[in-house]
Structure 1
Amino acid sequence: MRVSFVKMHGLGNDFIVLDARENALPQFSQATIRALADRREGIGCDQFIILEPHESATCRMRIFNCDGTQVEACGNAARAVGLLLGKPAQIVTSGGTIETRPDAAGISVDMGRPRLEWEAIPLAYPMDTLTMPVGWEELEQPCAVNVGNPHVIFFVEDNDAIRLDTLGPLIEQDELFPDKINVNVATIEDRDTIRMRVWERGAGLTRACGTGACATAVAAMRRNLTDRDVTVHLPGGPLSIRWKEDGRIIMSGPATEAFRGSFDPADFA
């Protein structure tokens, strides 16, 4: 059988999206997902997304990184799926239920409330998540935030100067993080502007990360480095992040459909 897909991206963070809401799909192994995600011999993506029916929401979204591992949430993918659905929607993920709706910036996503407790990140042992007493070479005293996905955030003078391609995997796989970790390096430009880069667990360097932008904004706000409504500039472009007084995070930004096609899973087994 051939499987239809939609190739989409949010600020260059790209996805293969499969819609299984009406017709069931075959199971995809980690090896098959890795082959499909390969940019030379497959379709190419950072994340592989499957939409499934849900009894009380618009749909369920399952998210796999390009290495085939399943993850809890993806903010950019949520915007892409929101665009695909074309109307306000409730989307169930392993990290919780999120709500999307079209807006002037493209798609806004209610990402829910961040988790700040050490055991919710999770960390291997108790410590303050606002200013963690740990470091890796020049990266020290990060903040940890879970926004469906776990993130550790380092505030630095120039995030472009950080060797994230080498420090990212080192920190991602540290024993302090039993579920591994996404690594963000951020520079505060002013009270409403942040520049950041991200190393995503299971995906590496990506051009944008929605949960990373949310986590970084929350970390900056917790440290009183910014106001509660900021623009986060990533290599792929900007996202607007607002941390409401009720604790919920609203992320707004563009999403794009690149092309549609189909494939035979047997070609990638």
Structure 2
Amino acid sequence: MKFVKMHGLGNDFIMIDCLCDADSRDKRVSGTEDILNRETVQRLCDRHYGIGADGVICILPSARADFRMKLYNADGSTAQMCGNGIRCLGKYVYDHDRTEKVNLQIETDAGVRQLILYKETDRINTVRVDMGTPDFVPEHIPVRFSYTCVSVGNPHCVIFLKDKEELEQFALEKYGPELEHHPSFPEGINVEIAWIQAPDRIYMRVWERGCGETKACGTGACAVAAAAMRMRKCGPSVNMQLPGGQLRVDYGIRSRNLYLTGPAEEIYSGEIAMG
């Protein structure tokens, strides 16, 4: 099976092109989505015995949009949406001649998302994603106690800390999995810890559901920004500083949507035996 390894700020993915055609793709790729069971995804994402990644993305045809994204976490579970992953998908389909469009609609399990691709020479360097409207309604987030959470296509729990030192020393490897698997969150939860340095800059770390701590998380950055905006602790445009680098989140006053902008990079391509 052929694949391409990509990342957005160090949040890395195995990209599998399922857009088969007789001219440019090996027909063995057809049906790839069907063979990606939990065990197979875990093996592919294993950093010692597989390719190694935070997740696997299948690029599929769509009846509703230009392409469809099917996302698997490193533990084999599925995820509704991923801000870094969808930016990688946008770069992939343009750079690999799957489209000539720089304005794309991508179908996800959280709905259709719009992408704007920014070219540098003949390649895509930066991608802007319309992440939709943040949802603070508790009934829309699987949780069994009264808590301020936010959904940006998938559920997040945001914790604000008092300073950068507390952020860096926070035992996320201990409390992340405890919150992720807490019975109060029947479908699991993504956990973000954050420090607001200034109205236009927030530092954060993230524990991703099904992955563990990652260098960056696009939906997590949007969740933190949305929570800070709701608290009136930041402005409508904020730079999110993650371990892997910087993302920008903008709030559309008219649309009430969040827009995520950041880089996407291809690392390498290869082929792996599936048998």
Query: What's the offset of the Cα at 1:260?
Result: 0.7
Percent identity (aligned): 40
**Match in the other structure for 1:136:** none
CA RMSD of aligned residues (A): 1.2
Q: Tell me, which stretches of 5 or more residues in structure 1 are unaligned?
A: 133-142
| Residues 1:95 and 2:110 are matched in the alignment | yes
**Corresponding position of 1:206:** 214
Contact kept in structure 2, 1:244 and 1:250, CA below 8 Å: yes
Residue 152 (structure 2) pairs with residue 144 (structure 1): no
Q: Residue 114 of structure 1 contacts residue 147 of structure 1 at CA under 8 Å; is this kept in 2?
A: yes
Task: Give me the whole-angstrom Cα distance separating, in 1, the residues matched to 2:93 and 2:214.
Answer: 24
Task: State the one-letter code of the partner of 2:257.
Answer: R
Could you tell me the TM-score, scaled by structure 2's length?
0.88
C-alpha distance in structure 2 between counterparts of 1:223 and 1:256, whole Å? 34
Superposed displacement of residue 147, structure 1: 0.6
Alignment of 1:205-244 (within 5 A): 205-244=213-252
Distance 1:151 1:73 in 2: 12
Partner of 2:10: 12
Residue 149 of structure 2 aligns to a residue in which SS?
Answer: strand
Alignment of 1:255 onto 2:264: yes
Task: Count residues in correspondence.
Answer: 249
Name the counterpart of 1:187.
Answer: 195
What is the distance in 2 between the residues matched to 1:224 and 1:21?
Answer: 44
Aligned-pair CA distance for 1:4: 1.1
> Which segment is superposed worse, 218-227 or 158-167?
158-167
The residue correspondences of 1:121-200 to structure 2 (distance < 5 A) are 121-125=141-145, 127=146, 132=147, 143-157=148-162, 158-200=166-208
Deviation at 1:56, TM superposition (A): 2.6
Q: Compute the displacement of 1:25 (Å).
A: 2.6
In the alignment, does 2:85 pair up with 1:70?
no
Deviations 1:34-90 (A, max 9, x none): 001000110000011001111131111010000000110100001101111222211
2:199 is aligned with what amino acid? R
User: Where does the alignment leave 5 or more consecutive residues of structure 2 unmatched?
Assistant: 21-26, 95-101, 120-124
Distance in structure 2 (CA, Å) of the matches to 1:21 and 1:145: 34
Q: In structure 1, what is the Cα distance between the partners aligned to 2:93 and 2:199?
A: 34
Instruction: For 1:184 and 1:82, locate their aligned partners in 2 and report how far apart those are by CA, in whole Å.
Output: 25
Paired with 2:149 and 2:184, the residues of 1 have a C-alpha distance of: 12
The TM-score with structure 1 as length reference comes to: 0.90
Is the contact between residue 82 and residue 88 of structure 1 (CA under 8 Å) also seen in structure 2?
no
Corresponding residue SS for 1:265: coil
The answer to whether the aligner puts 1:118 opposite 2:138 as a matched pair is: yes
- Counterpart amino acid of 1:147? V
Looking at structure 2, the residues matched to 161 and 248 of structure 1 have their Cα atoms a distance apart, in angstroms, of: 33
Whether the 8 Å CA contact 2:156–2:190 is kept in 1: the answer is yes
